[in-house]
Amino acid sequence: MTITERIENIVKKLKTRKSKNIIYLILAIVTLAAFSYRFYKVASENNTDVFNIVRNDLKNGTPVDAVEMNKIDGVLYEPITIKNNRGYVSGVRVILFKSGQDLGDCKIASVSRDIDLDSGMYVIKTAKCSDGLKYARIKKNGFYVPTSAVHGNSVYVADNGFARARDIKIAGRDIQNVLIENGIDAGDVVILSDVKDGQKIRVIK
């Protein structure tokens, strides 16, 4: 039997119903195996933290930055604009300034306790001070946190793996830091990241 005859014989056999059914069965098995493998890979990827950040956060807690509270000797910087050795502040702020207070290149000479009738403000006098924006250094011992950690009159603290809102009383603040007077104890862990009350968290160490 020639090669051509053999090929024709094989083709005839493949054209029978039985052969067709076998071929279809093989194709179905291969297709099912391919889909099964794909579903397995997807399920494996979904079980990893890389492909499921939200699921990981729900399970293990959202990673957050935080700081443990301890009283320290800190400094707040209160702004004041000086011109011709005089500055003007409101009644709310005048209590933050005092004679001898450091302004960087000079010091405060005196703080008026009477309102200036022309400006309606309190006058701060300096000695040999250049004109421009100055910052009075207010030194106090207490709990200091970044301004970004304060939300109104509250902060979030870590409590057994959850973020809890804590009301605080603010003693002073500047652009960078807030001095807390009440509401925080030594050892409390204040959360610096953006969280919500009751959110499951994981403090990054």
pLDDT at 10: 60
What share of the chain in percent tops pLDDT 70? 78
Where are the extended beta strands (E) located within 10-161?
Answer: 62-64, 66-68, 72-82, 86-89, 107-115, 122-127, 132-146, 154-159
Q: For residues 64 and 193, is the Cβ–Cβ distance under 8 A?
A: yes
Summarised one tens digit per residue, pLDDT across range 92-132 is: 899 889 999 999 889 999 999 899 998 899 999 999 999 99
Both structure tokens of 45: 């990827």
CB 64 within 8 A of CB 202: yes
Over the stretch 128-172, which tens digit does the pLDDT of each residue have?
999 999 999 988 999 999 999 999 999 999 999 999 999 999 999
The domain limits of the chain are 3-46, 61-72+140-205, 84-130
Tokens of 43: 């399920």
What CATH code is assigned to 61-72+140-205? 2.40.420.20
The count of residues in the chain is 205
Which residue type occupies 57?
D
CA-CA-CA-CA torsion sign (41, 43, 47, 52): positive
The secondary element (H helix, E strand) that includes residue 176 is none
Q: Which two tokens stand for residue 24?
A: 């279809």
- pLDDT category of residue 52 using cuts at 50, 70 and 90: low
- Looking up tokens 């024709």 gives 8
Say how far apart CA 73 and CA 114 lie, in whole Å. 32
Q: Could you give the C-alpha distances from 87 to 93, 134, 135, in angstroms and in order?
A: 12, 10, 12
Q: Which two tokens mark 32?
A: 């099912």
Residues 6+ apart with CB under 8 A from 35: none
Q: Where are the alpha helices (DSSP H) in the chain?
A: 3-14, 17-46, 53-60
